[in-house]
Chain A
Amino acid sequence: MADAIEDHGTSLWKDAWIKLSKNRLALFGLAVLIMLIATSLLTPLIAPYGYETQNLNMGATAPSLQHWLGTDIFGRDMLTRIMYGGRVSLMVGFIATAVALVIGILWGAIAGFFGGRLDAIMMRIVDVLYALPFMIFIILLMVVFGRNILLLFLAIGAVEWLTMARIVRSQVMALRNQEFVEAANSLGLSQWTIIRRHIIPNTLGPVIVYTTLTIPSVMLLEAFLSFLGLGIQPPESSWGLLINYGVETMEEFPWLLIFPGIALSLTLFALNFLGDGLRDALDPRTSKD
């Protein structure tokens, strides 16, 4: 038979992208995120000054052409410090989220797919951990073991995986009872093939959305701890730490508070808008009109 001309359909991913690209706030968020990542990667190359370069003659000057965002009390360039701080904040955000993602997906997928008693035990553990006051525990860890950045990743990741596990589990549970998975079963496909071809692609949407929303909450947690002096320690820097310094001198030099604050808020904005946009775009309920 002669090859008929085939219409190429629009996959749900493409559909979602079309919807996302109509959402200006989400696009703005995406743009900010890409810019931030690029800046963070290139910071050592493009930062206008050295990170520790002090210029005591220039102690705490207001923004100027020379120093766009002013200098701190030691005469260090704020733009440079914010760029370096952003590197650390973003890194914490991404790595701790990755930790949460790996544990959460594995835990949730196993519990949801196998179900039964295993599921009951695994989710009971999650429930118990949920009831624990993690913020206090993280502070305790930081106090006891010193302010170790690696520990910080692990501790934050350990908190955030719980929600991810719940989301993935409920997705997998719902999918497992879907007729198309039953159809795959009746075709005799192996469990692994079913997971790979039918379950995973359909859980990706919520996972992507939640990941996008976890990154800002992790960054917030890190900033919170650093602000209290219990997170990132000098000479490393982060936005939370810069805000902490800024607060001490905000009466005389408000820009030392305002600029790191804007950097943090703007990033949180961007990621949250992107997350919200992705949620709307990937929600099958909105795909009908």
Chain B
Amino acid sequence: MYRFAISRLLQAIPVLLMVITVTFFLVHSAPGGPFSADKAVPPEVIKALEEQYNLNQPVWQQYLNYLGDVLQGDFGPSFKYSGRTVNELIAAGLPITAELAFYAMLVALSVGITAGVGAAMRPNTMQDYLPMTGAMIGICMPSFLLGPLLVLIFGIHLDWLPVSGWGDIPGDKILPAITLGTGYAAYIARLSRGGMLEVLSQDYIRTARAKGLSERLIIIKHALRGGLIPVVAFLGPAFAGLLAGSFVVETIFQIPGLGRFYVQAAFNRDYTLILGMTIFLSTLIILFNLLSDMLAIWLNPKLRQEIRGTN
């Protein structure tokens, strides 16, 4: 398994290299330099700035320099936040976004799996229809609509919960986590219902019943493992989605996390920040995809042994 994990990690290296290369040249082929959009700046100032950021060198030279820096974990200085490096900005935003993503995932998994498994246990009854209708609403109610509506209802009308900030006032983490988690809870509910229904119709569940096991044991021991494999495989893409979703949620709730930085960097045309964050987020997402893939494989004894066999 370790060797398999390492070989998969090695396979991720060319992908990451591709990401760095494509992102770098995309950003550098952008029409207009980073300083041209601003008010009239004296040419000598631009020249000085370009020298400061090595923009006067040929592109390939810049690329190699940048690649070298990135490999050492240095994303360089930010264009717009003068005096701060991209690394500092990422370090400032990451804990906040990670916490938000963690709570959202918690909401998504607990609500989603409970609803999905419950629905699959009694298909075509109220226990199925109600959560599944809820899941459909969750899917059709994107975070950028749900967030403002929650703010409108719980923040402004009922005045129960704070509507902005992160860790300033007690309870200000509730609405963002729910906003970000709801859509994924809905997906996970549908996935786990489908997976569980599939498994519950298998012959081996009938065997377990015939052995006199209790219904609870059948669900927990015999059905969940197979039924939740689709959910596990979805965790990687879900994580990528959560990061993208944090762009919106952090903007709505004014949370100083990675997502808000990224959107602001996009508007400010802060090219080094965008470049650095794209590479950083891509690495995270690729790693999480890898993890969820391997977890899904590990859960299946047959695949697990085939991998052992190839080593």
A interface with B by C-beta (< 8 Å): 128, 130-133, 135-137, 139-146, 216, 220, 223-224, 227-230, 240, 243-244, 246-247, 250-251, 254, 257, 261, 264-265, 268-269, 272-273
**Which chain B residues (14-42) contact chain A, with CB distance < 8 Å?**
15, 18-19, 23, 26-27, 29-31
Indicate which residue in B137, B149, B282 contacts A133 across the interface (CB closer than 8 Å): B282
Instruction: Flag if B148 contacts A246 (CB, 8 Å).
Output: yes
Which residue on A lies nearest to B151, using beta carbons?
A250
Indicate which residue in B27, B139, B248, B285 contacts A268 across the interface (CB closer than 8 Å): B139
Write out the residue numbers on chain A whose beta carbons fall within 8 Å of the beta carbon of B267: 229
Instruction: Flag if A143 contacts B247 (CB, 8 Å).
Output: no
B interface with A by C-beta (< 8 Å): 12, 15, 18-19, 23, 26-27, 29-31, 136-137, 139-142, 144-145, 148-149, 151-152, 156, 240-241, 243-244, 247-248, 251-252, 262-263, 266-267, 269, 274, 278, 281-282, 285-286, 289-290
Which secondary structure dominates where chain A touches chain B? helix
Instruction: Flag if A136 contacts B145 (CB, 8 Å).
Output: no
6 A-B pairs with least C-beta separation:
A135-B244, A268-B140, A133-B285, A144-B30, A227-B144, A143-B266
Instruction: Flag if B26 contacts A140 (CB, 8 Å).
Output: yes
Given A140-B26, A228-B247, A250-B148, A132 and B19 contact (CB-CB distance below 8 Å):
yes
Indicate which residue in A139, A224, A254 contacts B266 across the interface (CB closer than 8 Å): A139
Q: How many whole Å from A262's CB to the nearest CB in chain B?
A: 9
Instruction: Flag if B274 contacts A143 (CB, 8 Å).
Output: yes
Given A140-B27, A144-B29, A254 and B19 contact (CB-CB distance below 8 Å):
no
Instruction: Flag if A254 contacts B152 (CB, 8 Å).
Output: yes
Q: How many whole Å from A24's CB to the nearest CB in chain B?
A: 13
Instruction: Flag if B12 contacts A136 (CB, 8 Å).
Output: no
Which residue on B lies nearest to A285, using beta carbons?
B201
In the bound complex, how far is the Cα of B251 from the Cα of A273, in angstroms?
A: 31
In the bound complex, how far is the Cα of B145 from the Cα of A220, in angstroms?
A: 11
Instruction: Flag if B145 contacts A261 (CB, 8 Å).
Output: yes
Write out the residue numbers on chain A whose beta carbons fall within 8 Å of the beta carbon of B247: 139, 228
Instruction: Flag if B145 contacts A230 (CB, 8 Å).
Output: no
Q: How many whole Å from B287's CB to the nearest CB in chain A?
A: 10
In the bound complex, how far is the Cα of B141 from the Cα of A272, in angstroms?
A: 12
Write out the residue numbers on chain B whose beta carbons fall within 8 Å of the beta carbon of A269: 136-137, 140
Instruction: Flag if A272 contacts B140 (CB, 8 Å).
Output: yes
Q: How many whole Å from A144's CB to the nearest CB in chain B?
A: 4
Instruction: Flag if B140 contacts A265 (CB, 8 Å).
Output: yes
In the bound complex, how far is the Cα of B262 from the Cα of A140, in angstroms?
A: 10
Instruction: Flag if A264 contacts B15 (CB, 8 Å).
Output: no
Could you list 28 A-B pairs, sorted by A, with CB under 8 Å?
Answer: A131-B12, A131-B289, A131-B290, A132-B19, A133-B243, A136-B243, A136-B278, A139-B262, A140-B27, A144-B27, A144-B29, A145-B30, A145-B31, A224-B248, A228-B247, A229-B267, A240-B144, A243-B145, A244-B144, A246-B148, A251-B152, A251-B156, A264-B145, A265-B137, A265-B140, A265-B141, A265-B145, A272-B140
